[in-house]
Structure 1
Amino acid sequence: MKKLKDYEIGIAKLSNKVHTYEFEMDDSFFDLFGKEIISGGQLLAKVELDKTESLLTFNIDIKGHVRLTCDRSLDEFDYPVDVQEVFRIKYGDENMELADDLWQITSGTQSVNIAQHLYDYISLSLPMKKLHPRFLEEMDEEDEESEEDILIYSSRSESNSEDEDDDDEDTDPRWDALKNLN
């Protein structure tokens, strides 16, 4: 079983250059975060860390699939994931989040754990409505059928308004009497 420590990168002893890491994420990875959103999966995260004197830049590329539960049928299905993200950490006086993709750490920090970031990037790549692929095929077929039945409305042109004036002469006299009440 994997632990959060498996996703730590020791930054204190790294030289100022580009370093490459690979992290495999399977069902035990998702067990660390609960199974409310993702019940499992098989992914590979390639992390390229560019370390400089004042900044750590993480280029993250995650590929694989996750196991989701369909919102309609409660069947499980595999959903493909392909995520590319950039995350930066700069050195400062205290540990804090400055933006979604920018954090600040103290210069004495020995290691950085990226497990939560990997999980967040995977979770954010998922659709809000999780539908089994068989329902997506049905929706595509319904969309094709409905495109054929589109009714288009248009405004009347000037030629139509002239014809309308001619129609007023042929109206029922009772309607004309009602028009005169105003």
Structure 2
Amino acid sequence: MKSLKTYLIPFTGLKLGKHEFDFEITDAFFAEFEYSLVKKADLICHVELDKQETMLILDFYIKGSIGLTCDKCLSQYPQQVEIREQQIAKFADEDIDEDEEIITLKKQEFEINIAGLIYEYVTVAVPFITRCNDEGNTPYCDKEMLAKLNELAGNGGSTEHEDPRWDALKKLK
């Protein structure tokens, strides 16, 4: 968790208005989170902090690539991501009912840690089904694995005619 301290933004000394921060997100960032879906990353996170008297408005712009494993051929490949998110942090003495867009900061707090937010935004950007782009034609795609999958799948459903149970089922029509 030591490396996550670089993702602290001290807002106490900032004047009211907009301020910009840039963070580099690499493999070390995701190594800090146990069971992370993302293990490899080369991302730049640009944060625009709009400091107001009663709140902070954080606009995130994250761009770069994350390393994923193709669900079909099991090879590693870089997935390009471009993420835009907004987070509002309100100053209050007591906790407000938190939702996804508003977090509460106590009046005595002087900095905000955005590491958890960045991790969440990148993790949500991971596709549910990960596939190499243009299967078989990219340098990342494992052509041997695809050939083996095609071999095991048969050639266009020919196994249907080899199994005598299918003949019995066709008679039911």
| TM-score, normalised with respect to structure 2 | 0.73
Structure 1 moving runs of 4+ over 6 Å? none
Contact 1:39–1:69 (CA<8 Å) still a contact in 2? no
Q: Distance in 1 between matches of 2:12 and 2:86?
A: 21
**Identity of paired residues, percent?**
30
| Aligned residue identity for 2:93 | D
How far off its partner does 1:79 sit? 0.1
Work out whether 1:112 is the aligned partner of 2:112: yes
Q: Distance in 2 between matches of 1:48 and 1:129?
A: 31
Alignment of 1:61-140 (within 5 A): 61-95=61-95, 98-135=98-135
Partner SS for 1:116: helix
Q: Distance in 2 between matches of 1:135 and 1:87?
A: 37
Q: CA RMSD in A?
A: 2.0
Deviates more, 1:49-58 or 1:69-78: 69-78
How far off its partner does 1:50 sit? 0.3
In the alignment, what sits opposite 1:47? 47
Structure-2 change in CA distance of 1:135 and 1:8 (3 Å): same
In the alignment, what sits opposite 2:148? none
Partner SS for 2:98: strand
Alignment of 1:137-156 (within 5 A): none
Larger radius of gyration: 1
More helix by share: 1
Cα deviation, 1:125-149, whole Å, max 9, x if unaligned, reads 1210111224397xxxxxxxxxxxx
Structure-2 change in CA distance of 1:80 and 1:133 (3 Å): same
| Aligned residue identity for 2:85 | E
Work out whether 1:26 is the aligned partner of 2:32: no
| TM-score, normalised with respect to structure 1 | 0.69
Deviates more, 1:93-102 or 1:60-69: 93-102
Contact 2:40–2:66 (CA<8 Å) still a contact in 1? yes
Structure-2 change in CA distance of 1:97 and 1:2 (3 Å): farther
Q: Aligned pair count?
A: 137
- Which 5+ residue runs of structure 2 have no aligned equivalent? 138-173
Structure-2 change in CA distance of 1:51 and 1:80 (3 Å): same
Cα deviation, 1:84-109, whole Å, max 9, x if unaligned, reads 11110001123566111211111111
